Chain A
Amino acid sequence: MGAYIIRKLGEALAVCVAVSVIAFVLVQSTGDLAVAMGGLDASAEETARLREVYGLDQSLFQQYLGWAWRVLQGDLGTSYFSQEDVLTLIMESLPVTAVLAVSSLTLGLLISIPAGVLCAIKPGSRFDRVCLALSVLGQAMPSYWVGLLLILLFGVTLQVLPISGTQSAASFVMPAMTLAWFVFPVFLRLSRAGMIDVLSSDYIRTARAKGLPRRTVLVKHALRNAILPVVSVATVQFGFLLGGSIVVESVFSLNGIGLLAWSAIQRADYPVVQAVVLVVAIIFVLLNVVADLLNAALDPRLMSEQ
């Protein structure tokens, strides 16, 4: 296990370096940053001065090394727009998004896995068909619309939940429900298909042949194998929720990292954009490592292949 973890972390490190290069090049390749910062009215001298101040006159390679060295020391730069430390900006908004992502993912999994298992036990039953219909709805409805519907119901009509902001835990209920509704179809289908597959497998027949009680067969023998793909996808989804919940954050006016990235892009605030891309990407990579380790813990075959 130790060697496996070290190998996975080594791979992750390599991917992180690659990601940092891509994040850097992506932002650089959007055009001349000095012109973008100075705006259309800036004179040639002003642009040149901007270029000098921000080190944009150096070679790309030097710029990357300088940026990477500062990043390693925890210096993600300063926002062009607000002149605030980028790290501080990210540390303010990341927890909001993280809370949202964790709660919506947990909610989604808690509903979809048991539902998927129940569907798989009797495929074609009424419960199964209702769940599948719901999952089609979940995939078809855009999350901003779901968010607005929830606001209408709980915020406006019933007036039981706050419709925006991050003042209390209650503020997170509707955004979390919106995102859970978004992830529910994927997990339902995965756990249902996985479970149907596993239940028809030979080792389930072996377990039944031993005379084990139904519950033991279902939980101990089937579920553990069936949720392997769910674990992989859940961690990736978690990454998406961290980086891509912009829509829901703006519907509910949550100052999360999605909103931060969105406003930074609008203002051509490149240090922030670059830093958000880097941070989200690194979290993504780490989540994949976590997924690999979780899968390895659940499925011993992965650790000792050949």
Chain B
Amino acid sequence: MNHPAPLLDVRDLSVTIQTPMGPLSAVRGIDLTLQAGETLCIVGESGSGKSMTSLALMGLLPPRARARAGHIRFGADALDPDAPGQIERLRGDRIAMIFQEPMTALNPTLTLGEQLVEGLLHHDPSRTRAAATARAVELLSACGVADPERRLTQYPHQLSGGLRQRVMIAMALMTKPDLLIADEPTTALDRTISLQILALLKDLQKRFDLGLILVTHDFDVVREVADHICVVYAGEIVETGTRDQVLNNPAHPYTRALLSCVPTSHASADGRLGFLPGVVPSLIGPDEGCQFRDRCALAHAGCAREAPWQEAGTGHRIRCTLAVDDIATLYRAPVPPAAKAYQPDQNPAQPALEVRGVIQRYTLRKGLFGKKGQLTALRGIDLSVNKGEVLGLVGESGSGKSTLARAMLGIERPAEGAVLINGQPISSVQRTRRARLVQPVLQDPYSSLNPRRTVEDTIRLPLDIHGIGTVEERRREVRRMMDLCGLPTRTAGSFPSQMSGGQRQRVAIASALVLRPEILICDEPTSALDVSVQAQILNLLKDLRAEFNLTLVMISHDLGVIRAMSDRVAVMYFGRIVEVGTGRDLFEHPQHPYTELLLGGVAKVGGQGAKVTGTSPNPLAPPQGCSFSGRCPRAVDRCQADDPLLAGTARHAVACHVPA
């Protein structure tokens, strides 16, 4: 094939960060090539150096980090990453960047109009402000921002997250860059919004012949947009190739193991996810050997020397000490023995957890004499979970998932309705008794553990509070829980700051289970974790469920996680359950258009046109009819006037006038 000169050609890029413990090699000899109009995905877990790579290309490294490179060629320019001024000249002009957090990436005190035009006016002083503003309006509408003129005078806080990310993209394109670097551009967004943003990026790429480098940990995103993929591990590229090659025929043991951890559309509550033990090693003073060898199932003595590059196909290369064919014959997907089979009681006399007509309202008030507003977070929830069942609760931010979790935990009393545990209203259960019935596992293990308590103290605390057992019995019980949750005994005296995110979440789970509750409410238990660690935690929860005959409520915005865990799934939208059914029924035959939207890919979203670009209605002024009608491709007149109620069988029920 006759390749034109690449848009970007990077050889041997390294980034070193000075730390008090010594220099940390965040990026070690990375090569990248990108053609105009192509998308390159750099994918890896946290600590793999993927963000440092993109920041080095932009010359935006933190003060203590230094970049070195064999060469960086951008079009006809040769750049020295260490020479001041060279990258700066191109930055924001021909190379632009968008970031992960649209909520914080825009300056809160400047109007969007000012933030849009300032970069262009700086790089092209000959342009008038009026001309720059005209371009901003043009780009905003190209990015799907309705009413762009009005947006110019608005401030970031007046826009939703998805809209802010659209503005960010428009801002990056103001100077007609040739290369756009996107660092986790959809990670902070809800799934439907993130699909819209990815579709937009693909569309803009085609229109402006844009080279796109997309940095992400999310294989769903990679699958949607990548042309080429670089898998990075511990600061090095371990595998590179086209999307098909890497995702469908992964060659490197790391890529294979990592992909087995990703919950796919084949995942179900009965099976287990793949297994990739351990964590990314420290990059302070690494040796030249393969950094993956401590976690690799195929590691051998030769892995201590530098791994050579090998061809696995045309343009498909891996870095491994084993030959490609040997890996293929030796490698076994590291799936541990299946979870203990558990058959939940299908027709019990009484559900373990029942939510009856729960409505929750909050009163908002501003200032001393401000107007009162009433926000209805839950608008009538009916739900029951049988003993031993895993109920998945999926929905976007603001749908009321966490409010429902608080009601189910008995932390907040609902305005109307009741939550019953084994038929008894939770509000009438004594606080200490309640703690032995239902326990939470929260999202962020970094902030939900007391930093001044050791692992042993944290797990033992509930036993102390409830005065269970003697000191020796408590100690034994703590050790048993640690063992069950996969925490090595030597970590008993560790503090949370000395542990990884996955280990912390194990501690949180152990301390939730030490009282032997019947019900565990997991609110986004893995969304702060890497995919390999997520798989470990989800597998652990599956085991513990069988071990303790647990009833689980699994709350997540991640459909993959829900799919991999749940016997039954409830889809929440705007304070209501819009569809509930067994996992298979719901995922294979979704009936509510919102569920379809959640399950659909980019192509589907793009094909359905402008209608799906909307967001949830204003919770302070809920619409009269169906709350989804404003976004619904199937909406009929009746939907605007008449709010549909959940109807159907116990296996599958939906709240829609026009179900599929």
Name A residues whose Cβ lies closer than 8 Å to a Cβ of B: 7-8, 10-11, 14, 201-203, 205-213, 216, 220-221, 224-225, 298-301, 304-306
* Contact status B105-A299, CB under 8 Å: no
Q: Which residues of B contact A11 (CB under 8 A)?
A: 367-369
* Contact status B119-A300, CB under 8 Å: no
* Contact status B118-A212, CB under 8 Å: yes
Number of interface residues of B (CB under 8 A): 37
Q: Which residues of B contact A300 (CB under 8 A)?
A: 108-109, 155, 157
Give the Cβ gap from B297 to chain A, nearest Cβ, in Å: 39
* Contact status A216-B122, CB under 8 Å: yes
Q: Which residues of A contact B369 (CB under 8 A)?
A: 7, 10-11, 14
Known: A300-B157, A304-B158. A206 touches B122 (CB 8 A): no
Give the Cβ gap from B265 to chain A, nearest Cβ, in Å: 34
C-alpha gap A207/B119 in the complex (Å):
8
Does chain A have a CB within 8 A of B323?
A: no
C-alpha gap A301/B159 in the complex (Å):
11
Question: Chain B residue with minimal CB distance to A12?
Answer: B368
Give the Cβ gap from B604 to chain A, nearest Cβ, in Å: 31
Q: Which residues of A contact B96 (CB under 8 A)?
A: 209-210
* Contact status B107-A203, CB under 8 Å: yes
* Contact status B107-A210, CB under 8 Å: no
C-alpha gap A9/B370 in the complex (Å):
13
Contact residues, B255-303 vs A (CB, 8 A): none
* Contact status A209-B60, CB under 8 Å: yes
Smallest CB-CB A-B distances: 3 pairs: A211-B92, A210-B119, A210-B92
* Contact status A211-B108, CB under 8 Å: no
* Contact status A225-B109, CB under 8 Å: yes
Question: Chain A residue with minimal CB distance to B94?
Answer: A211
Known: A210-B122, A221-B107. A205 touches B157 (CB 8 A): no
Give the Cβ gap from A287 to chain B, nearest Cβ, in Å: 17
Cβ proximity bits B69-92 to A, threshold 8 Å, 1 near / 0 not: 000000000000000000011111
Known: A14-B368, A209-B91, A210-B118. A221 touches B110 (CB 8 A): yes
C-alpha gap A8/B367 in the complex (Å):
8
C-alpha gap A91/B61 in the complex (Å):
58
Contact residues, B330-375 vs A (CB, 8 A): 364, 366-370, 373
C-alpha gap A298/B109 in the complex (Å):
7
* Contact status B108-A299, CB under 8 Å: yes
Question: Chain B residue with minimal CB distance to A4?
Answer: B367
- Ordered by A's residue number, 29 sampled pairs between the chains whose C-beta atoms are within 8 Å are A7-B370, A10-B368, A14-B368, A203-B104, A203-B106, A205-B105, A206-B105, A206-B106, A206-B168, A206-B171, A208-B91, A209-B60, A209-B92, A209-B97, A210-B91, A211-B88, A211-B89, A211-B92, A211-B93, A211-B119, A212-B92, A212-B119, A216-B122, A225-B107, A300-B157, A301-B108, A301-B155, A304-B158, A306-B364
Q: Which residues of A contact B89 (CB under 8 A)?
A: 211
Does chain A have a CB within 8 A of B123?
A: yes
C-alpha gap A7/B370 in the complex (Å):
8
Give the Cβ gap from B183 to chain A, nearest Cβ, in Å: 10
Q: Which residues of B contact A213 (CB under 8 A)?
A: 122
C-alpha gap A207/B115 in the complex (Å):
8
C-alpha gap A209/B60 in the complex (Å):
7
Q: Which residues of B contact A10 (CB under 8 A)?
A: 368-369
C-alpha gap A190/B515 in the complex (Å):
46
Return the contact of B109 from the options A8, A206, A224 (Cβ within 8 A): A224
C-alpha gap A209/B61 in the complex (Å):
11
* Contact status B155-A209, CB under 8 Å: no
* Contact status A208-B370, CB under 8 Å: no
* Residue of A8, A205, A209, A225 with most partner-chain B CB within 10 A: A209
C-alpha gap A300/B122 in the complex (Å):
25
Cβ proximity bits B105-136 to A, threshold 8 Å, 1 near / 0 not: 11111100000001100110000000000000
Q: Which residues of B contact A224 (CB under 8 A)?
A: 109-110
Give the Cβ gap from A6 to chain B, nearest Cβ, in Å: 10
C-alpha gap A299/B109 in the complex (Å):
5
Question: Chain B residue with minimal CB distance to A228?
Answer: B109
C-alpha gap A211/B155 in the complex (Å):
21
Give the Cβ gap from B648 to chain A, nearest Cβ, in Å: 37
Give the Cβ gap from B175 to chain A, nearest Cβ, in Å: 8
